[in-house]
Copies of this chain bind each other. A is one copy, B any other.
């Protein structure tokens, strides 16, 4: 019987681990709680009506259909048993136990609220297709609700969008909300003026996109402010509730921002499977729930278990696609070396290919080595690289089509939300509250 490799997760880590084992003499079973591979860097475009789900979330088994040594199973992993080498997964009440010889854990991270999980219903994050569709309904729904109000003061909180966290996701979301209100929706309404929507970007630190360095950060902030985005740094969120956000600033002042659409892009929390691994091994988890791995990405005391991607804590590497993909490749190479009795590659050596974030159409920042690009050139680089890495030819063509519609034109093709969302339970809580 061939060596059994079980991979948990269908993100960049899990999918690429499976792919890199294509020529190895192994049987790969990829288990994921969703049936798709999510191209997370473009999730904000699903939330803001540019792309459809299918364009960034192709079926994982479709991607792997020609890889005969790989099977894909739907299931949410509830338990890992390091002693008996099994993984238990569930779809609803349907349980399945899968045995492994080698395990690659790449279950990723979800939105993290730093101990304030009560914020979540009022400030969803943006980590999954569910999140993106929920945000899409909240963003486009907010303008619909504003249009319904008889008094401008009642419309105001519906026309105030607060994005918490000014990393790439926060900046991209704030930029897109501003663009859609100023361009796409400009002539769509009769009672309200969507171009007057307030977009407030809150950041706890000193500047936006701080990982890109001070020059890029300053220029990015200027670009965001030119778009009409209200950027507020050194701003700590105290509470988020049904009607808005309370913020405390570093200078001691504080204020309450009335908003019916708040997005949380301020933190992530690694999958709880990390804690399960730590409890059964010599490993520790850090504050974000990430597992401190050996330099070769294995779990301390368990050379047959790899932890990669957003679940892994090593050398302060960031939770980005490149780290996950390179970690996947490294794990696959280690597994192949072992099976072929060759020397293992040893310590994981991350090669930083650079990072980029879009600010608006035609404008981005990109750092590649010591090179710092900005503006249209960086945006073209962003466009090229994202199309290149997007999985599937049809996804590439279709995405380019939607980008032309959105960036050269003004329209957004994917604004649809469901009746269930329109019936909006959150609306109820907001409006049922006594005024004041």
- B92:A425 contact, CB within 8 angstroms: yes
Given A129-B416, A415-B59: A35 and B92 interface contact (C-beta under 8 Å): no
- B189:A130 contact, CB within 8 angstroms: no
User: What is the total number of residues of chain A having a CB less than 8 Å from a CB of chain B?
Assistant: 68
Minimal beta-carbon separation of A183 from chain B (angstroms): 12
| Chain A interface main SS type | mixed
Minimal beta-carbon separation of A260 from chain B (angstroms): 11
- A61:B188 contact, CB within 8 angstroms: yes
Question: Which residue from B91, B190, B419 sits with its C-beta under 8 Å from A34?
Answer: B419
- A91:B53 contact, CB within 8 angstroms: no
Minimal beta-carbon separation of A426 from chain B (angstroms): 8
Q: Return chain B residues, CB-CB under 8 Å to A418.
A: 34, 128-130, 133
Given A130-B418, A418-B130: A74 and B145 interface contact (C-beta under 8 Å): yes
Q: Return chain B residues, CB-CB under 8 Å to A55.
A: 52, 413
- A398:B395 contact, CB within 8 angstroms: no
Q: Return chain B residues, CB-CB under 8 Å to A145.
A: 74, 91, 94
- A394:B398 contact, CB within 8 angstroms: no
State A55–B55 Cα separation when bound (angstroms).
Answer: 13
Whether a CB of chain B sits under 8 angstroms from the CB of A75 is yes
Within A144-201, the residues touching B (CB, 8 Å) are 144-145, 147-148, 187-191
Whether a CB of chain B sits under 8 angstroms from the CB of A333 is no
Minimal beta-carbon separation of A100 from chain B (angstroms): 16
- A191:B423 contact, CB within 8 angstroms: no
Whether a CB of chain B sits under 8 angstroms from the CB of A427 is yes
Minimal beta-carbon separation of A81 from chain B (angstroms): 19
Given A54-B413, A128-B419, A401-B397: A93 and B187 interface contact (C-beta under 8 Å): no
State A74–B188 Cα separation when bound (angstroms).
Answer: 13
- B148:A427 contact, CB within 8 angstroms: no
Within A23-44, the residues touching B (CB, 8 Å) are 33-36
Whether a CB of chain B sits under 8 angstroms from the CB of A79 is no
- A431:B34 contact, CB within 8 angstroms: no
Q: Return chain B residues, CB-CB under 8 Å to A214.
A: none
Q: Return chain B residues, CB-CB under 8 Å to A407.
A: none
State A405–B58 Cα separation when bound (angstroms).
Answer: 14
Within A401-436, the residues touching B (CB, 8 Å) are 401-402, 405, 409, 411, 413-420, 422-428, 431-432
- A91:B422 contact, CB within 8 angstroms: yes
State A91–B149 Cα separation when bound (angstroms).
Answer: 11
Question: What are 20 contact pairs spanning A and B, CB under 8 A?
Answer: A34-B422, A52-B52, A52-B54, A54-B413, A54-B414, A58-B416, A59-B416, A62-B415, A65-B188, A71-B190, A71-B191, A76-B422, A92-B424, A92-B425, A96-B148, A129-B416, A129-B418, A130-B419, A398-B402, A401-B401
Residue ranges of A at the interface with B (Cβ–Cβ < 8 Å): 33-36, 49, 52-55, 57-59, 61-62, 65-66, 71-76, 91-94, 96, 128-130, 133, 140-141, 144-145, 147-148, 187-191, 394-395, 397-398, 401-402, 405, 409, 411, 413-420, 422-428, 431-432
Having A57-B416, A128-B418, one finds 8 other A-B pairs with CB under 8 Å, namely A55-B413, A61-B189, A62-B415, A74-B141, A91-B148, A92-B424, A93-B431, A398-B413
Closest 6 CB pairs of A and B: A52-B52, A92-B427, A54-B414, A53-B416, A74-B144, A92-B428
